[in-house]
A and B are shown apart, each in its own frame.
Chain A
């Protein structure tokens, strides 16, 4: 339980920071593609007897670069190609898992996560990825802001826009890998976008949006854990439902506010 709470807090850092960029840049679908295709890597790692997180990391990075290239070069068919890679990645994963001898893995825990089973090793992974993400965001804060706000202007100021777009997708990939440990890959997109989306309804600056999204992430994960604990519900879906309910409520409140 202690590991689960720490895991939730650590994951919220990445999802608050990177999720805010995903929301303002409106690339939820692309992030979803990265998240789901990661199952391919997890399946292969599992087949080879390696920890699934290693496979997830490799697959997330590879798919981030491929999908980024697709969205830059093939804008006409972008959504079709993302859809194909999304489903293809998952199919590869399921094939490898089915061919793995011995215990049949609990596919459900890949798909829907199991925050209660998080090990200390996992926590080190998550903390390490957090540090890496924050470091990159601090170093290139200006460029990320410029590229997500106004790409054309950023390009004219000499920013290598495409390189930063790919680097940004790498950050999304790292975050996805972290979040898969918490809620599994089906629900990643909700945890990546909902705290930031709620936060974006209330604040008018990207820094504050990231900070508030992180705090909301902590609230959603610990809140979801607490609610699921007593009736022994699966924590991943509970966390997502808490976040989703909060988002809808916030949407309603802010709309009502504007009208009043």
Chain B
């Protein structure tokens, strides 16, 4: 049975609007309701794996009406969003008791999930923009949720840069509409294939890269991320770093570049250069940080670079007419890294939330020796760190290995060298976290802290298990064929996207 696609948007949207009706007394009921919503989304996302569908809203046929498209790439990103959202929601049942307006937090959270699901499913360029704005607006409000000095300032910075990014994207959409007369992605792609790129479309392409680059925090546009992500409450940092920048940035950029405009050699190089810059400078900046969450935020920039690099390398090989197998391998590395990073970075932010809730500080120098005080957090954080640094049995290793193999096979040895080098830097910065947070002397004022168990520990442990076993996704051929290969095929097919949609 096929899943009616609008449920992915309507469930979180309806939940978001029904939650304020519970009022102050029904806080527990509201929390339960929100958790049910995220878990049902997770079930639906798992059920949608391996399917593809086109849904016409209101029974208007495609070029006239709005359509939703589910293909391999969408379902992969949808799965990542649902996993992280379910874990973060579970974590926040306990964690958000520190803040006053919990029901508002829950409804903004659900609004953000609705926006991201919409971005992933939308088959229409303008609707992609609308959902992107819904998700961004909810995240602006959530970053400033604490209403303290730093949070307001970070939120302002994030909002200014985010608004500039959205305006660029809207301008690009206007140019595309003016040049092709279409808003549906498949039909735009068809029109571009028929008439070729002209100056206006080229300018639109530049605007799209800048806009989505701002949303994804690639290095020349990264200034907001290290302020915004640490200022949000921990589950929101997990959502922002884990999935928001990928959905609004990487996914949208890959969709526009590969499936609408068609990848070319110069675009591939642009992506590779942006990715390398992000990787290297993010890693260097992260190593110098002494604030736990800020360090993790900088490392997000560096990890985003891996994904862009993988996708760009695949696109470059495709555009040069190289071997399809290597291109698929590079894109597989990028996309698998996207999923992996969603899991372990959100886990790292959740552990940082747990540490901050227990100790009341985020400064690395004020902590130490928490290993026996916070055993669950310690296990989770260690495994996530090992995973992000690429230590063999854990998930991060496999995606980096695939990227390195793809780079070597296609003859770009220096790219492989940079990947390994940045991986080493990542190892150093997370060893620093381990050293200063969990090992060493326990400070006087932290003698009688205790860990918060229950739902928080459960959320962290389930993500930890995922971290350990995610490697199976590429090792077991059956799983790879179901989950990852369709997503890779969407990007390697490139412009065939339009004929797939119109033919279906």
Q: Do A and B truly interact?
A: no
